[in-house]
Amino acid sequence: MPKVHRRTSKTPPARLASRGKSRVLIVLCIVLPPLVLTWKTLFSHSLLPADLLTMMPPWKEANAPLIGFWNALIWDSLGQYFPWRDFAARVFQSGYIPLWNPFQFCGLPFLANSQSALFYPLNLIFWLTDTRRAFGLSGFLHLALAGWFTYLFLRAVRLRRFGATVGAVTFALNGYFLTWIFLPTVVSSAIWLPLALLFAEKFFRRGKPAFAVGAGAAVGLSALAGHPQIFLLCTLFFGFYFIARGIFLKQWLRLAGGILLTGGFAALLAVVQLLPLAELLRFSHRAPSAGAERYDFYLSWALPWHNLVTLLLPDFFGNPGTTTFWGKGNYAEFCAYAGILPFALALIAVRYGRGFHARFFAIFAAVWLLCALGTPLNWFFFHFIPGMSRAGSPARLLLLYLSSVAFLAGIGANWVTQAYSEKGAAWLRPRLLAVILVVAILAVGLAFFSRALLPYSGEFTLQDVFGDAKPNITLLGSICLVSIILIFAMGARSRQVRNALAGAVVFLIVADLLIFGFRYIRTSPRAEVFPSTGVTRFLQENADGGRFLALSPEPLEEAWPASDLPEAVYLLRGMRPFPRALLPPNSAMVYSLRDVLGYDSVYLANYRALVGELEGRDPSPAANGNLLLASSARRDMLPLFGVRYLLSLVPLEGRDLRLVYDGEVKVYEVISAVSRAWAADGSFSPGVAMGEAEIVEDGINHVRVEASLTTDGYLVLADAFYPGWHAFVGGQEMEIIRANGAFRAVALPAGSHQVDFHYRPAVFKIGLFAFLLALSIAAGCSTNAILLRRRGFEKR
């Protein structure tokens, strides 16, 4: 008979059962809070603020009163992320890779926009399920993974289960995640930080190259998740940790080798996304300004010093979820809330923590917070860290501050359990009471400090200034009171008492952060997310590949007003004017309609210039340079863009227009409209009759045109000119010429021709090869690890 290998253990069965129960409880502590937060979106609702749509035409009913609260940041979930995810899902399901987006800006690279996140593995949720449901599923999954990765990291640095659980729930439910959850790329990019730290820790402890590869995979996944700024910040934090850890352990060769392995594999995995992005940035509208001006603008979006009160009283300036926010900028941009008890436990870690991790995270929590406040520390990062000049604002570093606080909270909780076991409740009790007192005094002190710094504060009573913070003050007092009761309840050192106290602490942390999340997060029935309207149905039935141009009410600043108002206006509580833009940019993608305008963080600079000629002014509202809107248009240029319909809320005059739909929106047909493709002479004008052209296939990455020219001339296609497009005539590649400043043209001899335009960017081919190679290396490392573990088990 073959020899049977049996694994033996001296651990009593009762203790094994106890460990099993504790592991189940830990998993529940990590998984249940995100589930409670998002449960409705798993069934009937969507994690999207669809009520914002009801305030904008064509979804807004005539004379309907404004409801809710305009929040420019969470609008991006509807204005960008839902259209992108829905478009990508439809294209993937049809069997193609959406390298190009034909529905906005007369065409734009889609993969190259990193926030498309086409190769991020966890976005399979979007590609394989209903997009309206997928936002909630993705939010739940990423918050749960954030907690689990943090738990594993803190266990790897020798924290007990209680400390690791505290750190895990604090990181997963921190205020930055909960306020940015509507924008999936932010959370998706950030959750890989603790996993990268975990692999770095294992690499320095064990020296196996596979762990450096694992750290590189985590960094690469952060890049693929789609938010370049968050990826940059997390990579920066990881880089400091990796270098500091190697120096602390004096493992110089391992440090150098680890940097090469980690950085190399991360680049190999992420280049499929980063290389096309780098190419797009060369042609984008985001041209760099002078260094000093750029730095001053960067600092202008730092966390205001009076916002320090929100470390403990997050709604001191109101909350968008309750339509009371009156603080500067956007609530989410300046959110620094980690919870009351996590903040207190982090203070304990700073005061009593020993060892590398307590000191490292304490130092960097201070560094990131000071940078977020716009102090001179930013000068080094801005000028010497590549990419920081494009990182948005110093306030984005609050993510790293909150990550540090979460890790410190775990370390502080771990210290409390050790001190409780080793020195007893009598020694520990006064120290914990002192920390609770410090937190309470600090909250009150910061509140009066903020009141003193507020403009026009003398004109308001304490009731006016502190009114919005009442729920926070009540919660702070309740948590402090319950904490004091728990501190005095410490007595016997029995396991049951310790477990009960630990459970109570975790419960308080989770309850605090969930209450915060529920005040901000709102969901909508799925049917309300971009519902079909009369005008969208009309355009779908009649556009036939042509484009439309939506004219917003004048002036453009009222069509899309600034969300960042003068400081004096913020004191008018809840004042955030709703935009009046008609069928706002990117909405057309949802209905597969072609829009002249668009909304994107990177789009083509030459196209922006041409739209400026069409409008005779800057096509972007002052509130947002990433938007292209129109309040008027030169009629003689409409055929140049292939515009077939004009949309307006008010009647339009002109013999060149014919009213064809009069409902919630007025639709005018441009009588002189031509197809997006035409035959022309060297002027590329659609008004010169040189023959005929017809688009016979109109795909995502491919357009086929049949053209018949009476004399030698050009085929002009009013789609954006961009590297990576190739034109073939009779199997022979032809040069694509830039026409009219932003479109494509191909020189053709007289006669009939079939011209195929294919989008085949070389940067994508290179990146895809590297991506597949990275997957092969990862699969090989995983297989080898499994085989080694199996052999070790058999030997035992």
Q: What single string gives the DSSP state of each residue in 120-153?
A: -GGGHHHHHS-HHHHHHHHHHHHHHHHHHHHHHH
Residues found in the chain:
796
Give the model's pLDDT for residue 130.
92
Give the end-to-end CA distance of the chain in Å, rounded to a whole number: 19
The overall average pLDDT reported for the chain is 88
Yes or no: say if 337 and 310 are a contact pair by the CB < 8 Å rule: yes
Give the model's pLDDT for residue 461.
65
Q: CA 470 to CA 313: how far, in whole Å?
A: 9
Between residues 699 and 9, the one the model is more confident about = 699
Q: Where are the alpha helices (DSSP H) in 454-469?
A: 462-466
Yes or no: say if 369 and 401 are a contact pair by the CB < 8 Å rule: yes
Can you tell me whether residue 327 is helix, strand or coil? Answer: coil
Counting residues of the chain whose pLDDT is more than 70, the rounded percentage is 90
As to burial, measured by CB atoms within 10 angstroms (0-12 exposed, 13-18 middle, 19+ buried), residue 16 is exposed
Q: Enumerate helices (H) and strands (E) in the chain, giving the number of each.
A: 27, 20
Give the model's pLDDT for residue 399.
96
Give the model's pLDDT for residue 572.
47
Residues 6 or more apart whose Cβ sits within 8 Å of residue 230 = 185, 186, 189, 190, 222, 396, 399
Q: Mean of the pLDDT values across residues 456-467?
A: 65
Yes or no: say if 646 and 633 are a contact pair by the CB < 8 Å rule: yes
Q: CA 246 to CA 177: how far, in whole Å?
A: 30
pLDDT band per the 50, 70, 90 thresholds, residue 664? confident
Q: CA 142 to CA 35: how far, in whole Å?
A: 11
pLDDT band per the 50, 70, 90 thresholds, residue 323? confident
Q: CA 127 to CA 744: how far, in whole Å?
A: 31
Q: CA 579 to CA 57: how far, in whole Å?
A: 10
Residue 267 has pLDDT above 90, yes or no: yes
Pair of tokens at residue 312: 């403990």
Residues 6 or more apart whose Cβ sits within 8 Å of residue 33 = 143, 147, 169, 172, 173, 510, 513, 514
Q: pTM value? A: 0.93
pLDDT band per the 50, 70, 90 thresholds, residue 139? very high
Burial per residue of 491-526, b for 16 or more beta-carbon CB atoms within 10 angstroms, e otherwise: eeeeeeebeebbeebbebbbbbbbebbebbbbbbeb
Between residues 578 and 254, the one the model is more confident about = 254
Yes or no: say if 226 and 189 are a contact pair by the CB < 8 Å rule: yes
Give the model's pLDDT for residue 65.
62
| Closest listed residue to residue 725, CA positions, set 109, 115, 281, 105 | 109
pLDDT band per the 50, 70, 90 thresholds, residue 795? low
Give the model's pLDDT for residue 20.
65
Q: Flag the least confident range among 64-78, 167-181, 711-725.
A: 64-78
Q: CA 376 to CA 238: how far, in whole Å?
A: 22
HSE at residue 433, side-chain half, CA atoms within 13 A, is 12
- The model's pLDDT over 343-402, given as tens digits with 9 standing for 90+, comes to 999 999 999 988 999 999 999 999 999 999 999 999 999 988 888 887 778 999 999 999
Strands 598-599 and 524-525, bridge-based pairing: unpaired
Yes or no: say if 29 and 506 are a contact pair by the CB < 8 Å rule: yes
Residue 697 has pLDDT above 90, yes or no: yes
Q: Flag the least confident range among 122-126, 457-461, 703-707.
A: 457-461
Q: Mean of the pLDDT values across residues 503-512?
A: 94
- The model's pLDDT over 272-287, given as tens digits with 9 standing for 90+, comes to 999 999 999 898 887 5
Give the model's pLDDT for residue 632.
87
Query: Can you tell me which residue has the tokens 């502080």?
Result: 412
Give the model's pLDDT for residue 566.
46
- The model's pLDDT over 86-114, given as tens digits with 9 standing for 90+, comes to 999 999 999 999 999 999 999 999 999 98
Q: Where are the alpha helices (DSSP H) in 46-182?
A: 72-76, 82-93, 124-128, 131-156, 161-172, 175-179
| Closest listed residue to residue 336, CA positions, set 309, 355, 318 | 309
What are residue 709's DSSP bridge partners?
691, 751
Q: Flag the least confident range among 84-88, 578-582, 605-609.
A: 578-582
Peptide bond into 49 cis (omega under 30): no
DSSP-derived secondary structure letter, 81: I
Strands 732-734 and 725-729, bridge-based pairing: antiparallel
Pair of tokens at residue 602: 């990177």
DSSP-derived secondary structure letter, 596: S
Q: CA 267 to CA 261: how far, in whole Å?
A: 10
Q: CA 698 to CA 399: how far, in whole Å?
A: 43
pLDDT band per the 50, 70, 90 thresholds, residue 66? low
Can you tell me whether residue 643 is helix, strand or coil? Answer: strand
Q: Flag the least confident range among 69-83, 569-583, 706-720.
A: 569-583
Give the model's pLDDT for residue 425.
87
**CB 282: neighbour CB atoms within 10 A?**
8
For helices 192-206 and 209-224, angle between their N-to-C axes, nearest 10 degrees: 170
Q: Flag the least confident range among 72-81, 417-426, 457-466, 587-596.
A: 457-466
Name all contacts of 785-790 with Cβ < 8 Å and 24+ positions apart: 785/210
Residue type, 573: R
**DSSP per residue, 728-743:** EETTEEE--EEETTTE
Q: CA 516 to CA 36: how far, in whole Å?
A: 13
Residue 154 has pLDDT above 80, yes or no: yes
Query: Can you tell me which residue has the tokens 């086929």?
Result: 704
Can you tell me whether residue 375 is helix, strand or coil? Answer: coil
Give the model's pLDDT for residue 645.
94
Residue 1 has pLDDT above 90, yes or no: no
Residue 788 has pLDDT above 60, yes or no: yes
Give the model's pLDDT for residue 68.
62
Q: For residue 496, give the H/E element and its range.
A: helix 495-520
Residue 776 has pLDDT above 80, yes or no: yes
Alpha-carbon torsion 227, 233, 234, 236, what sign? positive
Q: CA 103 to CA 540: how far, in whole Å?
A: 13
pLDDT band per the 50, 70, 90 thresholds, residue 571? very low
Query: Can you tell me which residue has the tokens 């409880």?
Result: 25
Residue 791 has pLDDT above 70, yes or no: no
pLDDT band per the 50, 70, 90 thresholds, residue 247? very high
Pair of tokens at residue 480: 């402090």
Give the model's pLDDT for residue 317.
87
Q: Flag the least confident range among 198-207, 563-572, 580-589, 749-758.
A: 563-572
Counting residues of the chain whose pLDDT is more than 90, the rounded percentage is 64
Yes or no: say if 524 and 50 are a contact pair by the CB < 8 Å rule: yes
Pair of tokens at residue 778: 């990862």
Residue 14 has pLDDT above 50, yes or no: yes
